[in-house]
Structure 1
């Protein structure tokens, strides 16, 4: 009997769900008290208090978003789940962009959280999910008597994922326009937001392969197995409460990151770029790993790919708009360090797209992603970063040559009718790829 079926639908909230929600609210409580009273003893304590609130609220968001898939099916559910999961990052980044409109000192932080989170997502999140999914698949295959070369070495993605990969390929190429111009103009931001809107609309019309008997685990299972009315009230309430906590904590959390760097003698840019994403991305990684542990590696990767699209379109597109309403000009300027970071992030995205363009995620590709991600922490000078970006492009070129038959079907996927994305050319490419592998 599955976990989800063992939890009987009930009109009241199960005790485990109540305990976990209360725990999250307790962790967020001090931040709410600090915010209401204006109490701010020192930046480091503020960092832990408001950072803890963001993490706690992020977990509630992740639980509610996963359970909501019972009522929102198909590719649209994954796109919405990914959008909700990155709300903490949006709150922090948009605050920096808005503040930079009146205080130029904050311009350097406006996109720092985005570039760090984006690279963390692809360089650590994607490989982690692949390793877990392949471990689960190999364990299951071994239990059936398989061994040696017959054990799974590749995570296959469904044909419907070609839409996501195609859109990500498009925005990865467009992303290079930002470092080339040294700014994010409002008109370019509006273009990126329009691409996101088109992606969401396309995902909503995509073939629906949702199964009403999909299993949920843990906290999401308790929510999903409530009666329909109680379930919707519960996850909507969790969305509202967690969003309110995140939005109220975003400003003091963002300020404490900058001030803590000065107090601790640590580069503030480093804290903004990596500490904030660790706080905001942790629940999303946990949800993705849970999918992989349940044998749903493709769904896990799909969620993380959709998050990449959200970051490169809606988030980046919103930054110059926030900067403008904060009193800045019609473009968010980037200094030399940010230009370098955008080149590195965009080149890594191109490499990621090239690796999965055939909808097959190999172990060697996951190892390459995490290895190159780790290298960046030891290569800190500008020349080294550009060399690393070049390596990303070289790896991408090799992967594209190997998967050349998949390039056209993937790049054309965003422009094809929804019902034809998962079949036709995509399936023929898959057959050719499998034949080549044999």
Structure 2
């Protein structure tokens, strides 16, 4: 195996060792030290997962690989969030944490992730073309992912309207996610354009490549499962010790750590001039969060000893409303499959405002601003609404070819 492949993999494995030793060694460490060690283990494992998932595009369709990559890159967030929801089944004090982590990571992904990736992509495109590029054009194939996100964002308003995430809604969202995976798996496979460690893995012969990919999946998943619970507990304890609002700590610090690998992968795509792939990955992640993650929360809550619905308090309802309206703006503005610079700057500015004005009234005002801007974008892009909402249900090229062969 080439040295340039072994070095980054070995480094990530080494970074997981202190956390695993702390987890299984029975050592009582200070909360801040535990936060750092378990956080490092989770992030390192996420890099291994991201490289393995990207290299898997050699053997499966690109759209399916992007969907799997989007799920795997935020697996630490899923593990932490589901731990909070499961614990909330027996300890109601943990209910706010499940909602905080989900809404925080969701808004972070769109407000910061989408914006930064687009701005970087536009700078790279401008340098390569020798002229100012003002918008990023997405490939037509991304309309399917955008259609799934559009439907999920509409359904998301059920949560703040009812004040709960019911088990029935959870199963419906999980079913919709399964349909999403099946749909993108129907897209024809393409020759992947891999970079970094993923390219080195993808360049291996078939048998060792597949064995390495499976091995990385298994090891990284085990690390995340072992580290998620102590990482979450350390996070809350650290907040108490430092006098930081625990809700905000769980809402922003945990997602920053857990989504770092995905941001890095998307930024790498943007730097290489693959802005469409970068945004496509982040759109897929939004689909995952609004379907797989949200749908899993009431199930984890029930398994943990709770009832059939995860009830939300007033603060959590506000957070979900703000998150849903932000997603609606992102979808509405992208209906034409164009991501202009002004949209990136606007999303980033509105995301920053919630830290300047963190109160209840400010959250409702920001929700109204997102809704008003989304309404304007929907009117402007109204001719793309029907084609986007119907995209998940139209036959893909592969499906069409398969039917042609049968007939």
TM score, norm. by length of structure 1: 0.89
Which of 333, 341, 345 does residue 363 from structure 1 map onto?
341
1:193–1:314 CA contact under 8 A, matched in 2: yes
Corresponding residue of 1:427 = none
Superposition pairs of residues 269-280 of structure 1, within 5 angstroms: 269-280=247-258
Which of 298, 301, 304 does residue 282 from structure 2 map onto?
304
Superposition pairs of residues 202-217 of structure 1, within 5 angstroms: 202-206=183-187, 208=188, 210-212=189-191, 214-217=192-195
Q: CA deviation at 1:415?
A: 2.0
1:160–1:421 CA contact under 8 A, matched in 2: no
Q: CA deviation at 1:421?
A: 11
2:186–2:398 CA contact under 8 A, matched in 1: no
CA distance in 1, matches of 2:101, 2:294: 11
TM score, norm. by length of structure 2: 0.96
1:162–1:421 CA contact under 8 A, matched in 2: no
1:118-161 Cα distance to aligned partner (Å, 9 max, x none):
1011001111111111111111111xxxx4xxx42211111111
Secondary structure, aligned partner of 2:259: helix
Corresponding residue of 2:262 = 284
Confirm or deny that 1:24 pairs with 2:12: yes
1:413–1:421 CA contact under 8 A, matched in 2: no
Which of 102, 122, 146 does residue 165 from structure 1 map onto?
146
1:187-230 Cα distance to aligned partner (Å, 9 max, x none):
11001111111111111113x2x432x33221111111111111
Count of matched residue pairs: 400
Q: CA deviation at 1:418?
A: 2.0
CA distance in 1, matches of 2:347, 2:358: 18
Corresponding residue of 1:6 = none
CA distance in 2, matches of 1:358, 1:421: 25
Aligned Cα root-mean-square deviation (Å)? 1.4
Corresponding residue of 1:3 = none
CA distance in 2, matches of 1:416, 1:62: 30
Corresponding residue of 2:296 = 318
1:99-129 Cα distance to aligned partner (Å, 9 max, x none):
0001111111112111111101100111111
Corresponding residue of 2:159 = 178
CA distance in 2, matches of 1:136, 1:28: 34
Secondary structure, aligned partner of 1:184: strand
CA distance in 1, matches of 2:121, 2:299: 39
CA distance in 1, matches of 2:124, 2:399: 28
Which of 193, 200, 205 does residue 222 from structure 1 map onto?
200
1:179–1:340 CA contact under 8 A, matched in 2: yes
Secondary structure, aligned partner of 1:155: strand
1:163–1:421 CA contact under 8 A, matched in 2: no
CA distance in 2, matches of 1:50, 1:303: 26
1:159–1:421 CA contact under 8 A, matched in 2: no
CA distance in 1, matches of 2:257, 2:291: 22
1:22-65 Cα distance to aligned partner (Å, 9 max, x none):
21121111111111122122211111111111111111111111
Q: CA deviation at 1:328?
A: 0.6
In structure 2, list runs of 5 or more residues that go unmatched.
Answer: 401-407
Going from structure 1 to structure 2, the CA distance change for 1:158 and 1:416 (only over 3 Å counts) comes to same
Corresponding residue of 2:45 = 57
In structure 1, list runs of 5 or more residues that go unmatched.
Answer: 1-12, 423-438
Superposition pairs of residues 68-83 of structure 1, within 5 angstroms: 68-83=56-71
Q: CA deviation at 1:420?
A: 10
Corresponding residue of 1:336 = 314
Corresponding residue of 2:395 = 417
